[in-house]
């Protein structure tokens, strides 16, 4: 082995130790323990819940009634579930149903509940060069895009939206390849911007599309049954996770106040409802 490795390891440990000492006096981020569960909880979620602004709107409601400190990490659904598998997240808010069922079947989650849904839309240049507006379903829309070799921007990041897109290609019996098929590897907002700039089509959840500013792209196709976008909340089952806070969060988001907040989110800013709550009762 290189002699440098030990030196590096010692150096890194020293830095961490010194930093800890130096910041120890800076006040803890943990709140005072109350009667309920407390502590830090990591919420791994899809980029769409953050990019649409939903979480910024509803999370303060949870913070008010709880001693739990929520740390929201916006990643793709695939990455969120990987974090859950490793125990690096306590709770997931994701939209990739097939992968979620696998996640539950593998015993990584203790509960999975439907929170809300909206739909995906096929977004494209305003003049719709591939002419997808009048097709019957989303798979046909993608088929037409592929036939015309019109540019298509894929998330390519193992997110829920990416999984949906791949399922649609699969349904259409097409293996998308070629210079017209761009994989961005980035979040929904970034991908929408890239698609807009490159005059490409892309698949987006409706919420993020409406919330992303400065786009010329329009909805090219919408409203078919194969575009349903369903979000679930999953409590992670792993040693060392903050189960108390996670269960609190899960029952909170399924309860009336949060569900009402989800229903009204976006009506004022975008003139339409972005998410349809599923657990209102």
Q: Applying CB under 8 A, which residues contact other proteins?
A: 3-4, 7-8, 12, 14-16, 18-20, 22-23, 26, 29, 40, 42, 51, 56-57, 59-60, 71-74, 86-88, 186-187, 189-190, 192-193, 211-215, 240
Beta carbon nearer to other proteins, 52 or 151:
52
CB of 185 to other proteins, least distance (A): 13
Q: Cβ distance 229 to 143 under 8 Å?
A: no
Beta carbon nearer to other proteins, 25 or 105:
25
CB of 178 to other proteins, least distance (A): 26
Beta carbon nearer to other proteins, 14 or 102:
14
DSSP sequence for 83-152: HHHHTS-SEEEE--HHHHHHHHHTT-EEEEEEEEEEEEEEEE-TT-TT--TT-SSHHHHHHHHHHHT--E
Rounded CA-CA distance 44/92 in Å is: 5
Beta carbon nearer to other proteins, 55 or 163:
55
What region, left, alpha or beta, does residue 185 occupy, with left being phi > 0 and alpha being psi -120 to 50 degrees? left
Beta carbon nearer to other proteins, 59 or 115:
59
Tell me the pairing of strands 38-45 and 91-94.
parallel
Beta carbon nearer to other proteins, 88 or 226:
88
Closest CA to 29 of 86, 70, 64: 70
CB of 88 to other proteins, least distance (A): 5
Beta carbon nearer to other proteins, 97 or 266:
266
Per-residue tokens: 21: 């000492």
Give the burial string for 25-51 (b: 16+ CB within 10 Å, else e). Answer: eeeeeeeeeeeebbeebbbbbbbbbbb
Q: Cβ distance 104 to 242 under 8 Å?
A: no
CB of 39 to other proteins, least distance (A): 9
CB of 14 to other proteins, least distance (A): 7
CB of 214 to other proteins, least distance (A): 4
Cβ-in-10-Å burial (0-12, 13-18, 19+) of 230 comes to middle
CB of 16 to other proteins, least distance (A): 5
């Amino acid at each position: 082995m290189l002699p440098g490795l030990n030196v590096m390891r010692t150096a890194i440990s020293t830095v961490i130790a010194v930093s800890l000492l130096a910041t120890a006096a800076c006040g803890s981020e943990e709140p005072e323990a109350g009667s309920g569960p407390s502590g830090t909880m990591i919420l791994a979620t899809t980029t769409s819940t953050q990019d649409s602004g939903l979480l910024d709107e509803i999370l303060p409601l949870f913070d008010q009634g709880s001693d739990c400190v929520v740390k929201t990490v916006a990643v793709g659904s695939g990455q969120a579930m990987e974090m859950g598998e490793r125990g690096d997240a306590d709770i997931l808010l994701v939209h990739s149903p097939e992968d979620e069922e696998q996640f539950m079947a593998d015993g990584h989650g203790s509960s999975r509940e439907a929170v809300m849904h909206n739909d995906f839309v096929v977004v494209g240049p305003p003049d719709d060069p591939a002419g997808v507006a009048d097709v019957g379903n989303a798979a046909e829309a993608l088929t037409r895009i592929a036939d015309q070799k019109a540019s298509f921007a894929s998330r390519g990041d193992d997110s829920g939206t990416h999984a949906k897109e791949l399922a649609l290609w699969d349904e259409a019996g097409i293996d998308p390849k070629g210079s017209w098929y761009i994989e961005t590897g980035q979040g929904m907002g970034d991908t929408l911007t890239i698609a807009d700039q490159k005059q490409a089509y892309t698949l987006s959840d409706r919420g993020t599309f409406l919330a992303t500013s400065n786009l010329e792209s329009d909805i090219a196709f919408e409203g078919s049954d194969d575009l349903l976008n369903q979000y679930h909340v999953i409590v992670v089952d792993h040693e060392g996770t903050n189960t108390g806070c996670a269960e609190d969060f899960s029952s909170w988001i399924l309860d009336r106040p949060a569900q009402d907040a989800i229903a009204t989110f976006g009506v004022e800013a975008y003139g339409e409802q972005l998410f349809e709550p599923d657990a209102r009762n």
